[in-house]
Amino acid sequence: MEIKICGPGCASCEQAQKVVEAAVDAKGVDAELSKITDFAEMAKLGIFSTPAVVINGEVKCVGRVPQQAEVEEWFA
Protein backbone atom coordinates (compact mmCIF):
# COMPACT_ATOMS: atom_id res chain seq x y z
CA MET A 1 0.00 0.00 0.00
CA GLU A 2 1.32 3.44 -0.90
CA ILE A 3 0.30 6.31 1.35
CA LYS A 4 1.17 9.93 0.63
CA ILE A 5 0.79 12.74 3.14
CA CYS A 6 0.56 16.06 1.29
CA GLY A 7 1.40 19.38 2.90
CA PRO A 8 4.11 21.97 3.39
CA GLY A 9 5.01 20.76 6.89
CA CYS A 10 2.58 22.80 8.96
CA ALA A 11 1.28 21.60 12.32
CA SER A 12 -1.86 20.11 10.75
CA CYS A 13 0.22 18.23 8.20
CA GLU A 14 2.42 16.81 10.93
CA GLN A 15 -0.68 15.78 12.89
CA ALA A 16 -2.17 14.08 9.81
CA GLN A 17 1.05 12.11 9.37
CA LYS A 18 0.99 11.00 13.03
CA VAL A 19 -2.64 9.88 12.73
CA VAL A 20 -1.91 7.88 9.57
CA GLU A 21 1.20 6.29 11.14
CA ALA A 22 -0.82 5.32 14.23
CA ALA A 23 -3.54 3.76 12.04
CA VAL A 24 -0.93 1.81 10.05
CA ASP A 25 0.60 0.52 13.29
CA ALA A 26 -2.78 -0.32 14.82
CA LYS A 27 -3.92 -2.31 11.78
CA GLY A 28 -0.54 -3.84 10.97
CA VAL A 29 -0.82 -2.66 7.39
CA ASP A 30 2.17 -3.10 5.09
CA ALA A 31 2.46 0.47 3.81
CA GLU A 32 5.06 2.76 2.33
CA LEU A 33 4.58 6.29 3.64
CA SER A 34 5.91 9.31 1.80
CA LYS A 35 5.52 13.02 2.26
CA ILE A 36 4.80 15.42 -0.59
CA THR A 37 5.69 19.03 0.11
CA ASP A 38 5.88 20.29 -3.49
CA PHE A 39 2.73 22.23 -4.42
CA ALA A 40 3.12 21.41 -8.13
CA GLU A 41 3.14 17.71 -7.28
CA MET A 42 0.05 18.16 -5.10
CA ALA A 43 -1.72 20.03 -7.90
CA LYS A 44 -1.07 17.09 -10.25
CA LEU A 45 -3.01 14.96 -7.77
CA GLY A 46 -5.85 17.50 -7.73
CA ILE A 47 -5.01 18.68 -4.21
CA PHE A 48 -5.31 22.40 -3.56
CA SER A 49 -5.76 22.39 0.21
CA THR A 50 -3.67 20.73 2.89
CA PRO A 51 -3.25 18.49 4.72
CA ALA A 52 -4.27 15.70 2.36
CA VAL A 53 -3.97 11.93 2.44
CA VAL A 54 -3.63 9.83 -0.72
CA ILE A 55 -3.82 6.03 -0.57
CA ASN A 56 -2.85 4.00 -3.65
CA GLY A 57 -3.42 7.05 -5.85
CA GLU A 58 -6.88 7.83 -4.44
CA VAL A 59 -7.34 11.11 -2.58
CA LYS A 60 -9.03 10.20 0.71
CA CYS A 61 -8.95 13.44 2.69
CA VAL A 62 -8.26 17.10 1.85
CA GLY A 63 -8.06 20.20 4.01
CA ARG A 64 -8.39 18.51 7.40
CA VAL A 65 -6.74 16.05 9.75
CA PRO A 66 -8.56 12.71 9.59
CA GLN A 67 -9.51 10.71 12.65
CA GLN A 68 -7.54 7.50 13.24
CA ALA A 69 -10.69 5.34 13.03
CA GLU A 70 -11.51 6.94 9.68
CA VAL A 71 -8.04 6.12 8.33
CA GLU A 72 -8.33 2.54 9.57
CA GLU A 73 -11.61 2.19 7.61
CA TRP A 74 -9.76 3.25 4.43
CA PHE A 75 -7.54 0.16 4.81
CA ALA A 76 -10.50 -2.26 4.78
Question: What CATH number belongs to 2-74?
Answer: 3.40.30.10
- Would you give the DSSP letter of residue 1? -
Residue 2 CB neighbours (<10 A): 11
Tell me the pLDDT tens digit for each residue of 3-55.
999 999 899 999 999 999 999 999 999 999 999 999 999 999 999 999 999 99
Q: Is the pLDDT of residue 58 over 90?
A: yes
**Mean pLDDT computed over 65-70:** 98
Point out the catalytic residue in the list 3, 5, 13, 47. 13
Q: Is 13 a catalytic residue?
A: yes
Give the pLDDT confidence score for residue 76 in this predicted structure. 83
What integer best gives the mean pLDDT of the chain? 96
The pTM of this model reads 0.94
CA dist list (Å): 76 to 32, 54, 59, 70, 73:
17, 15, 16, 10, 5
Give the pLDDT confidence score for residue 25 in this predicted structure. 97
Each domain of the chain, given as residue ranges in start order, spans: 2-74
Q: Is 6 a catalytic residue?
A: no
Identity of the amino acid at 40: A
CA dist list (Å): 36 to 2, 56, 73:
12, 14, 23
